[in-house]
Amino acid sequence: METAEKPANAIRCDACPVLCYINPGRTGACDRYANDNGQLVRIDPHVVLHRAVSRGDSVVPFLDRDREWDGSIVTGPENFVTAIGAGTTYPDYKPAPFIISSSVQGVDMVTVVTEGIFSYCGVKVKIDTDRHLGPETHLVRAQGEPVGHVTTSEYGSQMLSLGGVRHLTGGSRKEGTVTCETLLNLCDRRPVELSIDDGATVIVQAGKPPVVGGVQEERMRVGCGSATIGMFAKQWFGKVDEVVVVDDHITGVLSEHQAGKLLGVPATGIKMKGHRSTPGRYFRVAEPGTAWGGTNIDDPLSILQSFNPKIAWPELRLLMVSTTGEHYAYYELDEALQPVEKELPAALCESVARIKENCEPALCTVLFMGGAGGSLRAGVTENPVRLTHSVRDALTRVTCGGAPVYVWPGGGITFMVDVSRMPEHAFGYVPTPALVAPIEFTLKLTDYATLGGYMDHVRTLDSMMDEKGRRRVAANPDNPWPMAPGKSSRSDPRSDQ
């Protein structure tokens, strides 16, 4: 790290604001730059994506020393220079590390490549689960430190917002360090344990099922209780007299629901706890939790009141089921109109299995979100606002490690990217603390000149492909090819039409 005087034989790294002194054979605080016999070098390689056209190449693992690229030059649009391992523009007045020209279908293009240092960044985490993770706005913690908060739940998923400049730089030093580490691990698709104030503990890993309270989630719900009634009412008709689909948000009751009415399901005299919304739809039948339908109940009968004796009848058949089909129970009313649990009839087993079948596998999705600051944009053009306008006008395409991004409307360049669509280990960090993320801007060469771009720094793709320190990685076949908007990089002849 930086000291008052330069140590003997050390060199100073200027890739970020920390300005480490690095001794020979050692790395800086970020573990990305090292002193190699007096030369500042990158430890990790600069990644170039290769689009497989005639063969299904597997992804070459990042930093896999046993599978080196043989150095052969493949020119043209089958290669895309990413910003992974490219370096930064710090101290913020330098042109981007790589400004690469290539020809795509006869059009001269340029890709400007930079690793951005993002203090203003975070992740949005979508956790497919019907279980209650914690009250909205409550703090999410990692290693005991606050790193984010619970945000509004979505259909079948719980949502977290993690990171942001206030956690990275606005709290204690430990809070900033833990937040940076948490974001880096999530973006690199490593498992992270999070605890929520007054809520659950969950292990999150991009592309993997969540583990809630030590139990791995298998499926997200098919819909709310009301939607489940609508989807499966016909399958229940004639096989059971009443169905209650237990859900923390909207619990459905077949005989009262419009789907049941249209099928001619007679009233059963059932009485529910909670707040009646529209016919057959009830709110707050129980408190949120991790049991039946995302509630805190283990006994589904606890949400029922006594049946109306003027309407109900002995041997009335009642199915209670959760929105994932994970929990279910079958009852018949005795002479006193009390539910007595029975074995689930074979005629209803198929419908419960169908609910499970219609549930998507539970996964965690991690979206990196960052704002490309003025200094980063200054590495593209001497007049940064022109780049912002060019992105807004769709003249410049933004990618992150070659993966497609969503750019938010409005001022600036604020984007989101699914980390699962990026090459492995695409992110880094600096101990300011901040995350380092790749970002690429691709546009026509003529448009780049109009922007006031650094035309004297443009170099051809051919000129750099045989240099050392680069690794060629097979592009994700599910991503559109960065050099061909709207086209897939999958080896499919229809993609060239």
**202 domain-assigned:** yes
| Positive/negative CA dihedral, 306, 312, 317, 323 | negative
Instruction: Verify that 37 and 50 share a domain, yes or no.
Output: no
Look at residue 298 and tell me if it is in a domain.
Answer: yes
| Number of compact structural domains in the chain | 4
| Whether residue 158 sits in one domain with residue 109 | no
Tell me the pTM.
0.85
Q: Last residue of some domain: 310, 331, 357?
A: 357
Q: List per-residue pLDDT tens for the chain, 497 residues long.
A: 444 466 778 888 877 888 888 888 888 888 778 888 888 877 788 999 988 654 334 333 333 333 444 444 444 458 899 999 998 888 777 899 999 999 888 889 999 999 999 999 999 999 999 899 999 999 999 999 999 999 999 989 999 999 999 999 999 999 999 999 999 999 999 999 999 999 999 999 999 999 999 999 999 999 999 999 999 999 999 999 999 999 999 999 999 999 999 999 999 999 999 999 999 999 999 999 999 999 999 999 999 999 999 999 999 999 999 999 999 999 999 999 999 999 999 999 999 999 999 999 999 999 999 998 877 899 999 999 999 999 999 999 999 999 999 999 999 999 999 999 999 999 999 988 999 999 999 999 999 999 999 999 999 988 887 777 788 899 999 999 998 754 433 333 333 33
- What digits encode the pLDDT tens for the residues 299-309? 999 999 999 99
Tell whether 214 is covered by a domain: yes
Same domain, 132 and 96: no
Of 357, 392, 424, the residue that ends a domain is 357
- Per the domain annotation, does 441 fall within a domain? yes
Characterise 213 by phi-psi region: left (phi > 0), alpha (psi -120 to 50), beta (else): left
Do residues 42 and 31 make contact, with C-beta atoms less than 8 angstroms apart?
no
Is 126 part of a structural domain of the chain?
A: yes
Give yes or no: residues 458 and 381 share one domain. yes
User: Looking at the DSSP assignment, which residues form a beta bridge with residue 371?
Assistant: 414
Cβ atoms of 437 and 188 closer than 8 Å: no
Q: Residues 77, 174: one domain?
A: no
> Is there a contact between 152 and 159 (Cβ–Cβ < 8 Å)?
yes
The reported pLDDT for the residue numbered 1 is 41
Main-chain phi, psi angles of 432, to 5 degrees: -75, -30
Domain containing 302: what range? 225-357
Do residues 480 and 417 both lie within one domain? yes
| 365 contact partners, CB below 8 Å, separation of at least 6 | 125, 126, 128, 206, 207, 418, 420
Q: Mark whether 128 and 216 lie in a shared domain.
A: yes
Residue 192 domain flag: yes
Please spell the DSSP secondary structure of 105-167, one letter per residue: TTEEEEEEEEEEEESSEEEEEEEE-SS----TT-EEEETTEEEEEE---BTTEEEEEEE-HHH
184 in the same domain as 145: yes
Residue 418 has a CB neighbour count (10 Å cut-off) of 19
Considering the domain architecture, whether residues 349 and 235 belong to the same structural domain is answered as: yes
Boundary (domain end) residue, out of 190, 220, 250: 220
377 and 303 within one domain: no
pLDDT for 376 equals: 86
362 is a domain residue: no
